[in-house]
Amino acid sequence: MPHEFKVGDELYVVPNGRLGRKAFSETITKVGRRWLAVGYGRSAIRFDRETLRSDPGRYTSVYTAYKSKAEYEAHQKLLSHWERLRVCLNRLYTMPEGMTHRVMDEVARLLGLTLAGEEA
């Protein structure tokens, strides 16, 4: 379901891996059923209301929008935490003491994974 937005709301716009570009706050200038726009004229950027990714046209999406800078920072913190967990899991060469099938099944379920050899 698309986020609820109205003209005049602020978005925090972050470039996707573009060197030399900085994040900025921008006011929503147009809201449609599928898209919302910030800015005017040729400098306007439109975003998918559900994903908050900019319209890529024929290329890769250049920007991602967040409802606020705080939401962006919280998302970055979550990604950083996930990366630390992923690295730690990748370093486990032996099964931790006390591990059971039930525990592994629960971890897989929480991560939305199907363990190899299991039927979906």
Tens of each residue's pLDDT in the chain, 120 residues: 556 899 999 999 999 876 678 899 999 999 999 999 998 888 889 999 999 999 877 777 789 999 999 999 999 999 999 999 989 888 888 888 888 999 988 988 998 988 877 665
Asked if 5 contacts 14 with a C-beta cutoff of 8 angstroms, the reply is no
What is the model's pLDDT at position 93? Answer: 83
Q: Identify the three-state secondary structure at position 64.
A: strand
E-state strands within 1-120: 10-15, 24-31, 35-38, 45-48, 63-66
d(CA 27, CA 15): 16
